[in-house]
Structure 1
Amino acid sequence: MEIVDVSVVVLILSVVSVKSVEGKDFTPYNFRSVYNFGDPNSDTGGGSTGFYPAGPPSGETFFGRPAERGCDGRLIIDFIAEHLDLPHLSPYLDSIGTSHRHGANFAIGGSTIRPQNESMSLNGVSPFSLDIQFIQYNQFKARTSFLYNQAKKNYHRKHLPRPQDLSQALHVIDIGQNDIAAGFRLKNESEFHASMPDIVDQLAKAVQNLYDQGARTFWIHNTGPIGCLPVNLHHHLQPDELDKQGCLKSLNDFAIEFNRQIKDRVIKLRTKLPNAALTYVCCKI
């Protein structure tokens, strides 16, 4: 079965119907497109296209076939698209059977906010860090706008985003857990805590970059209890490392601190970007 927290889905459906944020009124959007940036939590096929196809049980519950996702059903980004009556997002890297009329997905499994001096083959770290995803987004905007305006017939435009829809799109950022995992793996606790503000700064700069290009509506997700993931527990089975739920306590503590700093920065961005609707969506750890 699909493993999705129903309370999170309900919250998200409220977010994408948002009419006000922090007491400021915004025109209710009828979103015609979604642009997503992130890691495996919202990867709808970028990793499978760029590296290795997702194997079983990918897609077997909902899609009935391999669906290039790292789970057996849908992701939260899929539920967002469905709620907006939009098709599931096509990965930016996928050139077969795709349409980007209603947005694009730049998320790739293994991605980080900050570039890491590691590799996919060594530790599963993707070279498509958040800064690269935004370079791809900028190229996507420029090339699709050019092709749309050069097209002579409507059917040449049917898979291309309408340039006027870009500023009214929902922009989703769901990334950070791999930065925490890399910090846990490569640094001691004090070193990683010292580096965390820079990670948060990089994410905030990405939001500012989008805002400067006309984006006005953002959904920013925190990270979950990654200390409970089997991949992280595999090498840490000493009883004194685990909490009462059997999860890696130190890694979850890092995630809690990361989420706190992300939330604080979103609050500051609401003041800095007064014409933007920024929603911070959290899951409890």
Structure 2
Amino acid sequence: MAALRLRIYILVFCACLVIQCSCYGHSVLQKKHAALFIFGDSLYDPGNNNYINTTTDFQANWVPYGETFFKYPTGRFCDGRLIPDFLAQYAKLPIIPAYLQPGLNNYTNGVNFASGGAGALVESHQGFVIDLKTQISQFRKVEKQLRHKLGDAQAYTVLSEAVYIISIGGNDYLSPLASNFSNEEYVGLVIGNLTIWIKVTFFFYA
């Protein structure tokens, strides 16, 4: 059921992009587009874990990772591209880079904060990954840099028109912390924590 719901969300998202393409036309779309800000775990991590002090269990910087598209391991837990890469391509955007990629200072197309092994709870694989709370802190820094570079009004426009993609929570259920709660309590803890961060972070731009 959850997998079916995810597919429906993706199809709706892609349908919206098709409508936007039809309304604005190709030339306008390249001038005006929605940035992508991505949060999550290994399903969306483009290589952020390459740049943190962690174990090889949480990294994907060796072959065969990356071999079918990039021709080298990028840090993606995949032999090619991830869902955010395909969404960016469909939206006529470049591949959205990892936030920790050295030298990155342009966020007008968006940025990817995802970290393989991360959870909605700080305690999930703590010390080895970039948890959701830290990803949100990184996003706050991007907000400040956009305001400094573009001015408050234009930065607000970019952020309010952006698409925010989140895929996180699965790793929380593999955490030893789960054994301290009933199933119902733990699910409530994970969902509650995720809900709080979404409300606090993104409702300002809704």
TM-score bracket for the superposition, by shorter chain length = 0.7 to 0.9
Q: Give the partner amino acid of 2:13.
A: V
Per the alignment, do residues 169 and 96 of structure 1 end up closer, same or farther by CA in structure 2, a change over 3 Å counting?
same
Deviation at 1:67, TM superposition (A): 1.9
Q: Name the residue aligned to 1:209.
A: 200
Pairing partner for 1:138 from 129, 137, 140: 140
Deviation at 1:9, TM superposition (A): 7.1
How many pairs are equivalent? Answer: 185
Q: Are 1:180 and 2:173 matched, yes or no? A: yes
Deviation at 1:98, TM superposition (A): 6.8
Q: Name the residue aligned to 1:197.
A: 188
CA root-mean-square deviation: 3.2
Structure 1: unaligned runs, 5 residues or longer = 20-26, 151-160, 217-285
Q: Name the residue aligned to 2:50.
A: 48
Q: Name the residue aligned to 2:39.
A: 37
Q: Secondary structure at the match of 1:35?
A: strand
Q: Give the partner amino acid of 1:114.
A: L
Q: Name the residue aligned to 2:164.
A: 171
Structure 1 residue runs of 4 or more that deviate by more than 6 Å after TM superposition: 8-11, 27-30
Checking the alignment, whether the CA contact within 8 Å between 1:9 and 1:79 is kept in structure 2 is no
- Correspondences of 1:1-285 after superposition (within 5 Å): 12-18=10-16, 31-51=33-53, 54-96=61-103, 99-116=106-123, 118-120=125-127, 125-126=128-129, 128-149=130-151, 163-182=156-175, 185-188=176-179, 191-214=182-205, 216=206
Per the alignment, do residues 170 and 31 of structure 1 end up closer, same or farther by CA in structure 2, a change over 3 Å counting?
farther
Identical positions, percent: 25
CA deviations over 1:14-64 (Å, ceiling 9, x no partner)? 424339xxxxxxx99974210011001000111112245611112110111
TM-score when normalising by structure 2: 0.76
Cα distance in structure 2, aligned partners of 1:167 and 1:45? 26
Deviates more, 1:138-147 or 1:107-116: 138-147
* More helix per residue: 2
CA deviations over 1:113-141 (Å, ceiling 9, x no partner)? 01117545xxxx41x21111111111110
Per the alignment, do residues 31 and 54 of structure 1 end up closer, same or farther by CA in structure 2, a change over 3 Å counting?
same
Q: Give the partner amino acid of 1:15.
A: F
CA deviations over 1:149-181 (Å, ceiling 9, x no partner)? 49xxxxxxxxxx955211101101100111011
Deviates more, 1:68-77 or 1:48-57: 48-57
